[in-house]
């Protein structure tokens, strides 16, 4: 099976425009607090694409309607409860530790990330000119290396599309996978001030995530052998 970006883009665009009020409301909320281009990313995108291609009812299907992740070029205005539009008064705003925001209501969340401070890319690329190509390159896993351009209505990310086509989860950016996993382990063990995750512990955790993602999607997976 050869998946074409244009066909997938058209299928996904039709889906969100014709039958998905959840997505429409989420995008409207994000537009209120961003400027420039907006991209959709994460499990809402690749999970629905897998449903289109293979007709699968995935274990994460319910999650697809709870958690939607966006990436925006810039900030439109101050994001806090005092400035939120009256249409969105029933949403709570939760800031993240790395400068983005989660809008939450009734078991749903919309994450608004910004291109200029998107984590973990800012840990390895000290530049004010981060591009969407950098975002795709920085994704820890292959399945995560794709976005949907909400303005151009186009899916970007050949690596992510290939992951769906080949039905296999692999590492995409080992460096960022290592950084992200190390921070997760430190957060998990935050009560131990002297805790420093060992390399084999990080490796084990990364492979656990790869395997877990593959099992959720019904895909094969390829573990990594080292962190070099």
Q: How far apart are CA 50 and CA 57, in angstroms?
A: 9
- Predicted pLDDT of residue 116: 78
Nearest Cα to 50, choosing from 138, 146, 172? 146
Contacts for 9 with CB less than 8 Å, ≥ 6 apart: 148, 153, 154, 155
Q: What is the mean pLDDT of residues 5-15?
A: 86
- Predicted pLDDT of residue 61: 47
- Predicted pLDDT of residue 199: 94
- Predicted pLDDT of residue 45: 92
Greater confidence (80 vs 220) lies with 220
Q: Residue 48: exposed, middle, or buried by beta-carbon count in 10 A (0-12, 13-18, 19+)?
A: buried
Residue 228 lies in a domain: no
Domain range for 94 is 5-167
**pLDDT tens by residue, 129-179:** 788 998 999 899 999 999 999 999 999 999 999 999 999 999 999 988 998
Q: Are residues 18 and 109 in the same domain?
A: yes
Residue 226 lies in a domain: no
Q: How far apart are CA 42 and CA 167, in angstroms?
A: 17
Q: Are residues 141 and 180 in the same domain?
A: no
Q: Are residues 130 and 75 in the same domain?
A: yes
Residue 227 lies in a domain: no
Q: What is the mean pLDDT of residues 121-135?
A: 70
**pLDDT tens by residue, 199-221:** 999 999 999 999 999 998 889 99
Exposure class string for 112-133: b at 16+ Cβ within 10 A, else e = bbbbbebbbbeeeeeeeebebe
Nearest Cα to 165, choosing from 54, 76, 82? 54
Cβ(9)–Cβ(151) below 8 Å: no
131, two tokens: 């591009």
Cα R_g (the chain), whole angstroms: 18
Q: Supply the CATH number for residue 163's domain.
A: 3.30.460.10
**pLDDT tens by residue, 172-203:** 999 889 988 988 898 889 899 899 999 999 99
Q: Torsion angle, CA of 49/55/58/63, rounded to 10 degrees?
A: 50
Q: What is the mean pLDDT of residues 110-123?
A: 75
Q: Are residues 212 and 126 in the same domain?
A: no
Residue 149 lies in a domain: yes
Q: Are residues 160 and 189 in the same domain?
A: no
Q: Is the pLDDT of residue 17 over 60?
A: yes
Q: pTM surpassing 0.85?
A: yes
- Predicted pLDDT of residue 142: 97
- Name the domain count of the chain: 2
Residue 50 lies in a domain: yes
Residue 92 lies in a domain: yes
CA 186 centroid distance within chain: 21
Q: Are residues 178 and 72 in the same domain?
A: no
Q: Are residues 83 and 18 in the same domain?
A: yes
65, two tokens: 């309607």
- Predicted pLDDT of residue 95: 78
- Predicted pLDDT of residue 84: 58
């Amino acid at each position: 099976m050869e998946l074409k970006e244009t066909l997938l883009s058209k299928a996904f665009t039709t889906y969100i425009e014709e039958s998905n009020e959840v997505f429409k409301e989420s995008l409207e909320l994000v537009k209120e607090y961003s400027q420039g281009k907006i991209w959709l990313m994460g499990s809402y995108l690749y999970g629905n694409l897998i449903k289109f291609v293979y007709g699968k009812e995935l274990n994460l299907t319910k999650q697809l309607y709870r958690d939607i992740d966006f990436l925006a070029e810039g900030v439109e205005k101050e994001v806090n409860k005092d400035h939120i539009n009256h249409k969105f008064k029933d949403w709570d705003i939760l800031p993240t530790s790395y400068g983005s925001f989660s809008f939450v209501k009734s078991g749903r969340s919309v994450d608004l990330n910004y291109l200029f401070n998107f984590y973990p890319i800012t840990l390895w690329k000290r530049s004010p000119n981060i591009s969407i190509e950098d975002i795709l390159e920085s994704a820890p896993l292959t399945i995560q290396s794709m976005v949907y351009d909400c303005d151009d209505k186009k899916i970007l990310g050949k690596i992510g599309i290939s992951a769906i086509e080949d039905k296999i989860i692999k590492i995409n950016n080992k460096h960022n996978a290592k950084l992200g996993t190390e921070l997760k382990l430190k957060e998990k063990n935050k009560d131990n001030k002297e805790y420093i995750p060992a390399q084999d512990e990080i490796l084990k955790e990364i492979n656990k995530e790869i395997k877990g993602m593959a099992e959720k999607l019904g895909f094969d997976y390829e573990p990594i052998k080292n962190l070099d």
